[in-house]
Structure 1
Amino acid sequence: MAVTISMGSGKGGTGKTTLLCNLALLLAKKGKKVCLVDLDIGGADIHLLFGLFEPKHSLTDFLNRKVDSLTEVVHTFYSFYGLQIIPGTGSTLQTANMSFQEKQRLLRAISALDADVILMDVGAGTSYHALDFFMFSDIQLCVTMPEPTSIIDLYSFLQLATIRKVLGSFLTNSEVGHMLRKHTFSTLTEVFELAEKTQEGAKAKAQRSLHYFHPLLVINRDTPNARVNKTKLKQLVAKYLGIDIPQLGEIPEDAAIQDALRAYMPVCELSPEAPAAIAIIRIADKIEKLIGLFGDRSHNSTS
Structure 2
Amino acid sequence: MTVTISIGSGKGGTGKTMLLCNLAFLLARSGKKVCLVDLDIGGADAHILFGLFEPKHTITDFLNRKVDTLKDVVHTLYAFNGLQIIPGTGNTLQTANMSYQEKQRLLRSISALDADVVLLDVGAGASYHTLDFFMSGDIQICVTLPEPTSIMDFYSFLQLATIRKVLGSFLSHSDVGNTLKKQNFSSLAEVFALAESTQPGAKKKAQQALHYFHPLLVINRDIQNTKVNKKKLKQLVAKYLGIDIPSLGEIPEDTAIKDALKAYIPVCELYPDSPAAKAIAQIAAKIEKILELFSKTSSST
TM-score, normalised relative to structure 2: 0.99
Q: Distance in 2 between matches of 1:75 and 1:202?
A: 45
SS at match of 2:134: helix
Q: Comparing 286-295 with 26-35, which one deviates more in the overlay?
A: 286-295
| Structure 1 position 163 matched with structure 2 position 163 | yes
Give 2:177's aligned residue. Answer: 177
> 1:135-284 counterparts in 2 under 5 A?
135-284=135-284
Q: Distance in 2 between matches of 1:232 and 1:151?
A: 12
Q: Distance in 1 between matches of 2:155 and 2:269?
A: 32
- Contact kept, 8 Å, 1:148 with 1:227, in 2: the verdict is no
- Supply the AA of the counterpart residue of 1:200: P
| Structure 1 segments (4+ residues) deviating >4 Å | none
- Supply the AA of the counterpart residue of 1:42: G
1:29-51 CA-partner distances (Å, limit 9, x unpaired): 00000000000001000010000
Question: Aligned Cα RMSD in Å?
Answer: 0.6
1:45-78 CA-partner distances (Å, limit 9, x unpaired): 0010000000000000000000000000000000
Q: Distance in 2 between matches of 1:293 and 1:59?
A: 31
- Supply the AA of the counterpart residue of 1:47: H
Give 1:297's aligned residue. Answer: 297
| Structure 1 position 35 matched with structure 2 position 30 | no
Q: Distance in 2 between matches of 1:167 and 1:294?
A: 26
SS at match of 1:71: helix
- Supply the AA of the counterpart residue of 2:116: D
Give 2:7's aligned residue. Answer: 7
Compute the displacement of 1:124 (Å): 0.3
Q: Distance in 2 between matches of 1:94 and 1:218?
A: 32
Q: Which runs of 5+ in 2 are unaligned?
A: none
- Supply the AA of the counterpart residue of 2:149: T
SS at match of 1:121: strand
Q: Distance in 1 between matches of 2:271 and 2:191?
A: 47
Q: How many matched pairs?
A: 301
Compute the displacement of 1:227 (Å): 4.7
1:185-244 CA-partner distances (Å, limit 9, x unpaired): 010000000000000000000001101100000000001111522111111100000000
Compute the displacement of 1:292 (Å): 1.0
1:156-175 CA-partner distances (Å, limit 9, x unpaired): 00000000000010111111
SS at match of 1:85: strand
Q: Distance in 1 between matches of 2:145 and 2:43?
A: 19
Give 1:74's aligned residue. Answer: 74
Q: Distance in 2 between matches of 1:177 and 1:197?
A: 13
- Contact kept, 8 Å, 1:26 with 1:284, in 2: the verdict is yes
SS at match of 2:57: coil
Give 1:47's aligned residue. Answer: 47
- Supply the AA of the counterpart residue of 2:78: Y
- Supply the AA of the counterpart residue of 1:248: L
Sequence identity percentage: 76
- Contact kept, 8 Å, 1:176 with 1:199, in 2: the verdict is yes
SS at match of 1:233: helix
Give 2:125's aligned residue. Answer: 125
Give 2:94's aligned residue. Answer: 94
Q: Which runs of 5+ in 1 are unaligned?
A: none
Q: Distance in 1 between matches of 2:227 and 2:142?
A: 19
TM-score, normalised relative to structure 1: 0.99
- Contact kept, 8 Å, 1:147 with 1:227, in 2: the verdict is no
- Contact kept, 8 Å, 1:251 with 1:280, in 2: the verdict is yes
SS at match of 2:122: strand
Q: Distance in 2 between matches of 1:68 and 1:298?
A: 31
Q: Comparing 93-102 with 31-40, which one deviates more in the overlay?
A: 93-102
Compute the displacement of 1:300 (Å): 1.4
SS at match of 2:265: coil
- Supply the AA of the counterpart residue of 2:228: V
Compute the displacement of 1:298 (Å): 1.4
1:82-126 CA-partner distances (Å, limit 9, x unpaired): 000000001101100111100000000000000000000000000
Give 1:18's aligned residue. Answer: 18
- Contact kept, 8 Å, 1:148 with 1:228, in 2: the verdict is no
